[in-house]
Amino acid sequence: MTRSLLVLVSLVSVCAIGSAQGQQPAAERPCSKGALDPTCAKIGTPAVPLPDGPIVLDTAEQPRIRVVVITKALSRPWSVAFLPDGSMLITELPGRLRVIRDGKLDPQPVAGVPAVRAGGLAGLMDVALHPRFAENRLLYLTYSKPGDQRQYTIALARARFDGKSLLDLRDIYVVEPMHTGASRVAFDKDGMLYMTTAGYSGKRAQDPNDAAGKVLRLRDDGSIPPDNPFAGRPGHRPEIYTMGHRSNLGLAVHPESGALWTTEHGPNGGDEINILVPGRNYGWPLVSYGRMYDGPRQSEVPWQATFEQPFIFWVPSIAPTGIAFYTGDRFPAWKGNAFVGGMRTGELPRTGRVERIAFNSRGEEMRRESLLLELKKRIRDIRQGPDGFLYVLTEDDMGGAGGEGALLRIEPAQ
């Protein structure tokens, strides 16, 4: 038996032993406020530390894969971007931008990052490179911008990266009025920038004159394109591209169609993948396939003709995060598949996974496979690297939602 297989066997054994020690049934313990409920950390199966060596796993369609730990010295990593020289940028929610060079984490964070309001879900979030980064060295960050009296809002900043520092940093879009929640950014094939904003307050998500609970469409300098779907319409913010969103934690452009896909958190269940159509309303909080955290259905009718249906949804919840489309040659059986990070399943801690979704020639969902369940980690982001491997960020520690943040590489086991 190889060393990597022995590591995997030990992982599974630890979990089995912990489950047999007579823990109080999860259903008898309170955990009704979602991921931030401190009692949630006390339920579920035991945590498992990441091994130093690679882990070999079987998958349903692709021959064996190997999971390699590049670093596990990150603190609540949130997003990863690949630089032209092969280096990687990683954001950490507490407010640091880190660099992986030659497979090693630079101990010195990037200088010049904006001050963030860190705590809970707030902090430094997404990082994205300008489509012409090799020429202009511009990158973009979304972050929680501190305000007065411990308030904060979501901002989009742009800066030049010289390899060690951010230069000429400035905010190019700030959500007003004050607004909290997660935010992702992505560029489409025409160079337009899209930014997600959360809409936990359903009233704001459905208000066309409010930027919360929306996907916004901007130019690369933060200005508003005149051909946006609501531009020039009274009572509508011209930057809005789509509305009626709860919390989009994944955003990606489909490599063939060019359409924008988002992963959206429902409450307790009803997580979604949505394919964005300009000017459309995606229904939050008026329609949902999920339940409120304390049990009742979010809506008695999960669909109405006036709202866009989710392309894919999950019940129970998987708390979806980053999304990537596989276009490389390293995993031939996975070509054209979508990969989605998941932080937890059915409100149980330490049940994160990567969800693989296969489609037919018409783009319709055919089957799903859950990967990396053995690691028992919250998966925060997943991206395809320039080398054709898949890269995964995890953010769990042995007791809860922070620490032992890791960057993993998924490669063929040959």
Rg of the chain's alpha carbons, rounded to an integer?
Answer: 21
235: buried, middle or exposed (CB in 10 Å: 19+, 13-18, 0-12)? Answer: exposed
Which residues have C-beta within 8 Å of that of residue 116, sequence separation ≥ 6?
A: 94, 95, 122, 123, 124, 143, 144, 145, 146
Q: Which burial class, exposed, middle or buried, applies to 310 when counting CB atoms under 10 A from its CB (0-12, 13-18, 19+)?
A: buried
pLDDT attached to residue 44: 77
Q: Which two tokens stand for residue 104?
A: 């090693």
Q: Quick check: helix, strand or coil at residue 10? A: helix
| Tokens linked to 272 | 């979604």
Chain centroid to CA 294: 25
List strands edge to edge, sheet with 214-218: 185-187, 193-196, 214-218, 240-243
Give the integer Cα–Cα distance in Å for 33 and 10: 33
Which 3-state string (H, E, C) describes 329-356?
A: CCCHHHCCCEEEEECCECCECCCCEEEE
Give the separation between CA 3 and CA 168, rounded to whole angstroms.
49
Which residue is associated with the tokens 């000017």?
279
Per the DSSP assignment, residues forming a β-bridge with 68 are 409
Residue given tokens 């901002």 in the structure block: 155
Return the beta strands (E) in 37-95 as ranges.
55-57, 65-74, 77-82, 88-92
Q: Residue written as tokens 């919390």?
A: 247
The angle at the Cα of 213, spanning 402 to 249, to the nearest 5 degrees, equals: 35
The confidence score (pLDDT) of residue 14 equals 35
Note whether 249 and 321 are within 8 A (CB): yes
Global model pTM greater than 0.85: yes
* Rounded Cα–Cα distance for residues 324 and 344 (Å): 18
Question: Each residue's pLDDT tens digit in the chain (414 positions)?
Answer: 444 433 333 333 333 333 333 333 333 334 555 545 555 556 778 888 999 899 999 999 998 999 999 999 999 999 999 999 999 999 999 999 999 999 999 999 999 999 999 988 899 999 999 999 999 999 999 999 998 877 899 999 999 999 999 999 999 999 998 889 999 999 999 999 999 999 998 899 999 999 999 999 999 999 999 999 999 999 999 999 999 999 999 999 999 999 999 999 999 999 999 999 999 999 999 999 999 989 999 999 999 999 999 999 999 999 999 999 999 999 999 999 999 999 999 989 999 999 999 999 999 999 999 999 999 999 999 999 999 999 999 986 544 444 579 999 999 997
